[in-house]
Amino acid sequence: MAADDDIVTPWNVTSKNDTGIDYDKLIKRFGSSKIDDELLVRFEKITGKKPHHFLRRGIFFSHRDMHTILNLYEQGKPFYLYTGRGPSSDAMHLGHLIPFMFCKWLQDVFKVPLVIQLTDDEKAIWKNIKIEDAIKLSYNNAKDIIACGFKPDKTFIFSNLEHIGNNPAFYQNMIRIQRCVTFNQVKGIFGFGDSDPIGKIAFPPTQASPAISGSFPFIFKNQKVHCLIPCAIDQDPYFRMTRDVAPRIGYPKPALLHSTFFPALQGSQTKMSSSDNNTAIFLTDTAKQIKNKVNKHAFSGGQATIEEHRQFGGNCDIDISYQWLRFFLEDDEKLEEIRKGYTSGEILTGELKKELIEILQNLVTAHQETRSKITDDIVKEYMVPRDLGF
Ligand code: TRP
């Protein structure tokens, strides 16, 4: 199967292969670098922390300029984290948690400021959502994001529709960036056409601006600070553009850490999506819904009958329950035991699913409990433009 059949854009991720996207080929196509053992060894040496299981397992698999960030950290020089979310629906799903769980860990390891952009403007343009409703979605999603445990004194969360009009430095950088990119270039990078609303064509600089520290004078006091962006690899086009423009407006290129996609329940050919209830587990699902969805829909790499399964064993590469355990079961030894047991046929699909269901139920219940305590006032505190002790 040619990897060229894989489609990876900010709006569409599909593969015809049942093991999903060929990520090594994607690294070549995008021109990024693989997160290899050497980088992980260096990461551990410099930070004194064992790399997160997302790094150890290749869930974050690709980077740009991560060595530069480690050099800065080694020299005691500052940098900051930037990530974001397009708040397209009230209910966030498990896949949406991945970059935020990882950012929370990075923030704890490096003790650096984090800015989180909520692109409600993007969603208003692309999904034709009313401006007022898009802002509401931002506030709603902010609660789920805050529930991931970000430090209030080091984290700034903002809605584009609310914040940019109050922050001239941000708008000025948008214009600086817009001046540097031609229509031909955005067509090439994002595939926009003559009939797209001009809002789409103008949008990419909005997502680029937070990577320029000058956009947040209240945090960075007009210093030119390096930025590290953890994101799913489909967002890379935005940041290829940003990396091209940043030096031209006098700033360092942002570094990146790219993740693979969180696969849909039905299989790795596509990522989890909010628009199809049955491909996703939502952070609002009950324990019972989680159990039913996994049992009914999680694509199985097991054999058709127990006899055949005992004889031939299961295929972890395509089995969604196993793939999801790689994301959420932290214990390396236990995961390896399960992999061996399932591959040899000793563990049945039902048993594998049971293991996953329990982990997901615990995770989602804990998330719901934390989220229920996050009031509108707490959200507002994170959204106030303020000094983050930088
Ligand atoms: N466009 C992203 C989305 O639709 C949201 C986003 C904005 C983002 N800035 C980002 C994601 C920075 C990752 C990193 O979800």
Q: How far apart are the C-alpha atoms of 312 and 89, rounded to whole Å?
A: 42
Task: Write the residue with the smallest CA distance to atom 11 of ligand 1.
Answer: 84
Mean pLDDT of 134-155: 97
Residue 250 gets the label, from left (phi > 0), alpha (psi -120 to 50) or beta, of: left
CATH, residue 361: 1.10.240.10
What gap in Å lies between CA 379 and CA 374, rounded to an integer?
7
Residue burial 20-43, b: 16+ Cβ < 10 Å; e: rest: bbbbeebbeebebbebeeebeebb
Can you tell me the mean pLDDT for 84-91? Answer: 86
Tell me the average pLDDT across 161-187: 97
Among the candidates 208, 239, 264, a domain finishes at 264
Tokens 């698999």 locate to: 61
pLDDT number for residue 4: 61
DSSP state, 93? B
Last residue of a domain, one of 233, 264, 295: 264
| Separation of CA 316 and ligand 1 centre (Å) | 30
Ligand 1 atom nearest residue 99's Cα: 13
Is 209 a pocket residue for ligand 1 (Cβ < 6 Å)? no
218: containing domain = 2-264
- Count each helix (H run) and each strand (E run) in the chain, helices first: 20, 11
Q: Is 303 in the pocket of ligand 1 (CB under 6 A)?
A: no
From CA 62, how far away is CA 127, in angstroms rounded? 30
For residue range 240-270, list pLDDT tens digits in order: 999 999 999 999 999 999 999 999 999 888 8
Query: Are residues 186 and 322 located together in one domain of the fold?
Result: no
Does residue 90 register a pLDDT over 80? no
**Strand 114-118 and strand 255-259: pairing?**
unpaired
Q: Is the CB of 160 under 6 A from ligand 1?
A: no
Whole-prediction pTM: 0.96
Q: Whose CA is nearest to atom 4 of ligand 1?
A: 86
The predicted-structure confidence for 292-314, as pLDDT tens digits, reads as follows 999 999 999 999 999 999 999 99
Query: Closest Cα to residue 148, out of 335, 384, 382, 389?
Result: 382
Give the Å distance between the CA of 212 and the centre of ligand 1.
15
Distance 24 CA to ligand 1 centre (A): 23
Q: Which residue has the higher pLDDT, 8 or 68?
A: 68
Report which residue type is found at 49. K
Asked if residues 271 and 261 have their Cβ atoms less than 8 Å apart, the reply is yes
Q: Are residues 132 and 16 in the same domain?
A: yes
Q: Compute the average pLDDT of residues 150-156.
A: 97
> Is there a contact between 207 and 85 (Cβ–Cβ < 8 Å)?
no
Note whether 324 and 250 are same-domain residues: no
